[in-house]
Amino acid sequence: MLELRAVDAGYGDTTVLRGVDLVVPDGAVVALLGANGAGKTTLLRTASGLLNPTSGSVLVDGADASRWPPHRLAKAGVGHVPEGRGVFRSLTLRQNLRLQAVSVTVEEAIERAVGAFPVLGERLDQVAGTMSGGQQQMLALARGYVENPRYLLLDEVSMGLAPIIVDEIFAFLAVLAQEGTGLLLVEQYVTRALELADLVYVLNRGEVAFAGEPSELDSAELFEQYLGVTV
């Protein structure tokens, strides 16, 4: 289980998260919703070790991981696909996957990546920065997938992509969920995220405003109040 318990976190003197409790059970899909500036990216960065909490704890299987560096959390099975095409643009696709392959061989990493997104198999020696935005995002997702993480934190992975690519990405996320990977999903396509989710948390100004199952949401009221959209 990946857990945040009473977490405060922020940047310098600015507190972004306040007393956040959140749980990603093994094999569950957790949707993390909130308006822009609510603290979603900060929460993912804290959960993956890129940012240390100022108080509270990040726990992995009950062990306090609050001060673990990102590579130790990754070794414990916590993967993170950040917002904004998390790839090395000057390297080829093959080189990107080679860097990600730690506990698996490069061949195994390539096999898993191409199995997830077959189009990548046609571009193994292409420089990542010359690929389309959708293909770069597929590579970013594949890099997070090749090490077979127990938990994968996903920050707006469909942002700015064509609808057909979004469909492919959500199909991939559904496969991950079926394989038992725990997902913590920040996603602009709220309805599609909720279709996958077992649990949902809504952040409002750095605090948890709702935690429960998607069926418990009073969607119209909550979406308008906390997400700034109507349904």
Q: Which alpha helices (DSSP H) does the chain contain, by range?
A: 40-47, 70-75, 93-100, 106-116, 133-145, 163-179, 190-196, 219-222
Query: Which residue stretches of the chain have pLDDT < 70?
Result: 218-231
Question: What is the per-residue pLDDT for 119?
Answer: 94
| 136 and 168 both lie in a single domain | no
Confidence (pTM): 0.91
| 60 and 125 both lie in a single domain | no
Q: How far is CA 184 from CA 46, 74, 121, 225, in A?
A: 13, 15, 27, 22
| Count of the separate structural domains present in the chain | 2
Q: What angle do CA 136, 188, 228 make, to 5 degrees?
A: 150
Question: What is the per-residue pLDDT for 231?
Answer: 45
Residues of the domain holding 180: 1-77+150-231
What's the CATH code of the domain at 210?
3.40.50.300
Question: What is the per-residue pLDDT for 229?
Answer: 52
Question: What is the per-residue pLDDT for 230?
Answer: 44
| 141 and 112 both lie in a single domain | yes
Tokens of 148: 């077979």
